[in-house]
Amino acid sequence: MTRRARTCYDGARIFHPGPTPVTAHAPASPKIAPMTAARNGPLHGRLRVPGDKSMSHRALILGALAVGKTRISGLLEGEDVINTSKVMAALGARVERVGEGSWEVNGVGVGGFREPGATLDFGNSGTGCRLVMGAVAGCPVTATFDGDASLRTRPMQRILDPVALMGARTVAATVGGRLPLTLAGARDPIPIVYRTPAASAQIKSAVLLAGLAAPGETTVIESEASRDHTELMLRHFGAEVASGPDGPHGRRVTLKGQPELLAAAVTVPADPSSAAFPMVAVLIVPGSDVILTGVMMNPLRTGLIATLREMGASIETVAARDDAGEPMADLRVRASALRGVEVPALRAPSMIDEYPVLAVAAAFAEGTTVMRGLKELRVKESDRLAATAAMLRQNGVIVEIAGDDLIVHGKGTAPGGGLVATHMDHRIAMAALVMGLASQRPVRVDDAAFIATSFPGFADLMRGIGAALS
């Protein structure tokens, strides 16, 4: 896969409304950064991983659609979210960084986006791109969406289909509904009842965000519940959202259209999907004992913790609290003897981003771990099912893909010594480096640069608890 330039957070303090300051067509400047992880004794200390990525995107987008000044603390300042902040400025909001993780957004009101002067560049981020497609679909503006080589391979038809039903029009798209594409938002959006074709919070959120500007009720039905941060945050900003069960595992979410969204304070807790990497590292490096602080514990995000506990992991909740509508906790994690388990397909939505690092834990467990129903992994930042299997094989672990299932034969240890191809995928890079902290020989990744999309400071934070990353 060829790389294109990524938009980097440049430390600029204010992003004014104005021509979008993105680098969609800037010359490529590849900054490939290989990295190696090796054994280095037990991990110890306290660690707070950066803010939750899902909440950070949503806080910026809802802040931009609200009236008044939204104050966000704990915002993830990773490249994915920084790109969303720039896109919100390009669509007319005033977005200002006032301190570390502290941001203010002056919104334009529901339906009030203005037409951007240039292509919107989402870099590596499917979440930013798909959520903003929904938000734009409900406004009478035309915008072109683009991203890096990884994002250009990812399916966007799953968003274009429902927003077309609501009145938005795809003016131009690359074959198969891929980026770059141009979307004309609806002048008079139509509320719909939509059943999502996959358990995807991105699809659900895009429909709800488009439905904000529609009169009447927009309903999304999903047969398996996906993360509900959009619903929770919409309520926090004053919208009326009803949510209840639909069938044994599904949910039906209804938004009352044309609310006046009012600016709100948002506190973003630590990202459980980022916490997953030090968590598994601590479990597999003998003698380790670490406290992870302020981790978001939304039950639709804690599938990994449930699975690791079933595997015999020592993960103790030492302080639990609620903030801004989302539960959070400090977690004490200790090195543990793990055993193989079967992970049901139904659990996938609550841990969809955690399979690469769970597969590493499975390699260090005794016995076989079967992870079922991983079809959606094929359309993440990389084909994560194939990339996870290749990562393990490169390091001497026996692994199979059977249909949509991943099967790892754990031996309590891993030989290591491999070079892992990360395919522009931050989670493959971090999972491989976690493996190298416990394997018999070091593990090297071809490119750790994409870690900055979701977990800036990963290497330094891990070194701070004793990890050898070079």
Active site residues: 353
Q: Counting contacts by CB under 6 A, is residue 201 touching ligand S3P?
A: yes
Contact between 196 and ligand S3P per CB under 6 A? no
Sites for ligand S3P among residues 110-129 (CB under 6 A): 127
Measured distance CA(304)–CA(282) in Å, rounded = 14
Interface with ligand S3P by CB under 6 A: which range of 21-29, 60-68, 160-168, 194-202? 194-202
Contact 425, 386 (CB under 8 A): no
CB 306, min distance to ligand S3P, A: 18
> By C-beta, is 86 or 227 nearer to ligand S3P?
227
Alpha carbon of 81 to those of 7, 16, 86, 101, 276: distances in Å? 11, 16, 9, 11, 19
Nearer to ligand S3P, 335 or 343 (CB): 343
The DSSP symbol for 346 reads G
Beta strands (DSSP E) in 25-79 are 35-38, 44-47, 69-73
As measured in angstroms, the least distance from the Cβ of 354 to ligand S3P is 10
What part of residues 372-431 is at the interface with ligand S3P (CB under 6 A)? Answer: 376
Residues between 31 and 90 that touch ligand S3P (CB under 6 A): 54
Among the residue ranges 60-68, 197-205, 263-271, 428-436, the one whose residues contact ligand S3P (CB under 6 A): 197-205
Total number of residues that touch ligand S3P (CB under 6 A): 11
H helices within 176-313, ranges in order? 201-211, 229-236, 272-284, 303-310
The C-alpha atoms of residue 19 and residue 335 are separated, in whole angstroms, by 51
Residue 1, number of CB atoms within 10 A of its CB: 12
Binding to ligand S3P by residue 202, rule CB under 6 A?
yes
Among 77, 222, 326, 353, binds ligand S3P (CB under 6 A): 353
Alpha-carbon span 419 to 422, nearest angstrom = 9
Report if residue 369 touches ligand S3P, rule: CB under 6 A.
Answer: no
Of 134, 159, 143, the C-alpha closest to 210 is 134
Window contacting ligand S3P (CB under 6 A); options: 10-18, 107-115, 176-184, 200-208: 200-208
Closest CB to ligand S3P among residues 45, 155: 155
Q: Does 148 bind ligand S3P (CB under 6 A)?
A: no
Q: Which two tokens stand for residue 283?
A: 């479990």
Element (H, E) at 317: strand 314-323
CA-wise closest residue to 186 among 142, 149, 238, 127: 142
Residue nearest to ligand S3P (CB): 54
Taking the complex as a whole, the smallest distance from the CB of residue 376 to ligand S3P amounts, in Å, to 5
Contact 6, 124 (CB under 8 A): yes
To the nearest whole angstrom, how small is the minimum distance from the Cβ of residue 455 to ligand S3P?
12
Q: Which residue, 323 or 376, has its beta carbon nearer to ligand S3P?
A: 376
Which one, 72 or 184, has the nearer CB to ligand S3P?
A: 72
Q: How many CB atoms lie within 10 A of CB 440?
A: 12
**For binding to ligand S3P (CB under 6 A), which residues are involved?**
54, 127, 200-202, 205, 226-227, 352-353, 376
